[in-house]
Structure 1
Amino acid sequence: MPPVAVPPLVLVTGPEEVLVDRAVAAVVASARAADADVVALDAATYEPGAVAVHASPSLFGGRTCIVVRDLQDAADDLQDDVVALVKDPAPEVSLVLVHRGGPRGKRVLDAARKAGAEVVDCPAVKSDRDKGEFVQREFASARRTITSEGVRALVEAVGRDLRELAAACAQLVADTEGTVDDAVVDTYHGGKVEATGFRVADAAVAGQQGEALRLLRHAIATGVDPVPIVAVLASQLRQLVKVGSAGRGSSAQLARSLGMAPWQVDKARRVVGHWTGEGLAVAVQAVAAADFEVKGGGRDPVYAVERAILTVSRARALR
């Protein structure tokens, strides 16, 4: 078996914790497969000179992988020691540098890039579009297929936290066969708080007053807080306003310019034609008032949400 290749210098940059952890874990796994000793150093507990000590040749030989985390918080001692090793690398030593962003530690970044580091970018995954692309990559890497509706349903159900979203993808890949669609996602994750909020919002913006209130009361009875429901309703209305005023263009083009996922554009387009500008204005004002009340400005958060849903449902019919 050929020896496992371990990169001599890796720079992991960006704030997305899940992607950072994966990038570091991949290098560490390669190092351990090559029988290297792995040493983890943290900026908060670093003692001056520790980098040089761990990079020194061992009496027993062998390779060492040094992982230095949180360089964005590094004091000058740690930065000096890392830069020195980057400029004068030690034989049989691999160095993994983790910087989550910000101006501090820039000279370490510059030195690593100048030295030809293998750079792994881990940008923040915040928008629903970014999360949808993340889901698609997760399934593609597992050689599985998920439909656009399946992506939408999964992001709506568990998209608040990327680590939970990654775990949900892994569960669906492991527990299912064939193409994953929205029905499969609903079987596993339909009871999540986020999914419940989206169902309430979908019914309200569709003018289905009775269904929206039924879903809301069921959600409240099962312990769902009114705050995320109002947040989802506000998000849905903002998307209608964006798409309604964006003009023509393909879903992909509008998604890029509006910071939305293509499936969100398609969904909003199917709904916004039933709304007038006056109706959207009334709905947005009602949800803004409910948002204030459920966050402590009113006496009865549940009543505030019910009133907003009634107003939104009726506003759809304004002509």
Structure 2
Amino acid sequence: MAPPARRPPARKPAGKAAASKIRQLSWRNPEPAPIVLVSGPEEVCAERAIAGLREYLRAEDPSLEVTDIRADDYTAGTLLGVTSPSLFGEPRLVRVSGVEKCSDTFLAEAISYLEHPQEGATVVLRHTGSSVRGKKLLDAIRAGTGGGVEVACPAVKRDSDRYDFAAGEFAAARKRIAAPALRALVSAFADDLTELAAACQQLIADVPDDITEAIVTRYYGGRVETSAFAVADTAIAGRYGEALLALRQALASGSDPVPMVAAIASKLRTMARVAGHRESSSALAGRLGLKDWQIDRARRDLMGWNETSLGMAIQAAARADAEVKGGSRDAVFAVERLVTVIATRQPFGS
């Protein structure tokens, strides 16, 4: 089997990674190197990157030897042992997890290994960024010691990031999905990127033609109808009865009040950012780091709202956020009160 074509180097992203002296690669298009640093908290992206490296190397040579070791439960001499050439000279892929909590022994041996990487070996170091442990090793890699590359996997938190993630899943599979279908799918899995990725892959595998909103509804209608964003949409539109019904359906299906309040607060914040701006959707989207459709949706949502009612709703969301995270004994009541304030646009109990 012919190996995949080598891709051109990716541009270095702005910020901290831009100061690095090594190439920055997309997790969707990883390439092997003596050292591959997979950094950042987004586990779905990291898993894809590491799996992609394995596929790349196995396509080049099916005799690839794959070894997994843990940096936090490390036995001295292991790294050099598993990277050393075998009798028949097969290529080696060594996947190292837990670098953010590595032992002193691993740290010392890994830094030493950078000075003399083994020929034919690809060492993948997974660091989630949850601690500064291993910083000396990361700094050495980013300085160019060892001939490494970095695959950044930053957290996917914003709606626009999740939308881009899902759009990328279909683009990578060369599968067309209608914009309303993509928005519905992202809204249905707004609180779990792993589930969103799985849903995208299921649609890609199961649906031979273009993916429409009706198909998404058929597969994930229950999730779409009871998602946090469905609750937020009906409340913001002032449909109080529908909002309470959607809230109770969401809670009955196992939705957690914490991401539900977060989703509602996110939509309110977007409305506040968009309110009062008259520039075009594309211009405002570029300035605020949003998508055109998010600007258009926020402007529709703002109909019937004013500065006072929007400010009151944002304050209610902040209160509910604190309460569902432990500030109250009744998280469900906290969400219901928030929905009431938003849907009625009045203080609770008035």
Under TM normalisation by the shorter chain, which class is it?
A: 0.7 to 0.9
2:35 is the alignment partner of 1:7? no
TM-score (norm 1): 0.83
Give the C-alpha shift of residue 290 in structure 1: 5.0
Gaps of 5+ in 1: none
Give the C-alpha shift of residue 32 in structure 1: 4.1
Residue 342 of structure 2 corresponds to 312
Residue 104 of structure 1 corresponds to 133
Residue 86 of structure 2 corresponds to 58
Residue 24 of structure 1 corresponds to 50
The whole-number CA distance in structure 1 between the counterparts of 2:331 and 2:234 is 20
Residue 164 of structure 1 corresponds to 195
Map residues 228-267 of structure 1 onto 2, 5 A cutoff: 228-245=259-276, 247-267=277-297
Range with greater deviation from structure 2 (119-128 or 211-220): 211-220
Give the C-alpha shift of residue 167 in structure 1: 0.5
Cα deviation 1:182-214 (Å, max 9, x = unaligned): 332222223128843322221221122333234
Map residues 1-319 of structure 1 onto 2, 5 A cutoff: 7-9=32-34, 10-33=36-59, 34=61, 35-101=63-129, 102-112=131-141, 113-192=144-223, 195-219=226-250, 224=255, 228-245=259-276, 247-288=277-318, 305-315=335-345
- Structure 1 counterpart SS, 2:177: coil
Give the C-alpha shift of residue 269 in structure 1: 0.9
Cα deviation 1:48-103 (Å, max 9, x = unaligned): 11112223333444332222223222233212322333221223322222222354
The whole-number CA distance in structure 2 between the counterparts of 1:255 and 1:269 is 12
Compared CA separation, residues 293 and 93, structure 1 to 2 (3 A): closer
The whole-number CA distance in structure 2 between the counterparts of 1:108 and 1:226 is 40
Give the C-alpha shift of residue 8 in structure 1: 4.1
- Structure 1 counterpart SS, 2:272: helix
Percent of residue pairs bearing the same amino acid type: 44
Q: Is the 8 A contact 2:115 2:145 kept in 1?
A: no
Cα deviation 1:154-195 (Å, max 9, x = unaligned): 121112121111101101111224332333222222312884
Q: Which has the larger radius of gyration?
A: 1
Give the C-alpha shift of residue 42 in structure 1: 0.9
Q: CA RMSD in A?
A: 3.1
The whole-number CA distance in structure 2 between the counterparts of 1:47 and 1:237 is 51
Q: Is the 8 A contact 2:224 2:230 kept in 1?
A: no
- Equivalent residue letter for 1:248: R
Q: Is the 8 A contact 2:114 2:145 kept in 1?
A: no
- Equivalent residue letter for 1:237: L
Give the C-alpha shift of residue 227 in structure 1: 5.2
Range with greater deviation from structure 2 (214-223 or 140-149): 214-223
Range with greater deviation from structure 2 (70-79 or 165-174): 70-79
- Equivalent residue letter for 1:106: K
Q: Is the 8 A contact 1:16 1:124 kept in 2?
A: yes
Give the C-alpha shift of residue 286 in structure 1: 4.3
The whole-number CA distance in structure 2 between the counterparts of 1:273 and 1:148 is 23
Residue 20 of structure 2 corresponds to none
Gaps of 5+ in 2: 7-30
Aligned length: 315
The whole-number CA distance in structure 1 between the counterparts of 2:136 and 2:71 is 15
- Structure 2 counterpart SS, 1:190: helix
Give the C-alpha shift of residue 140 in structure 1: 0.3
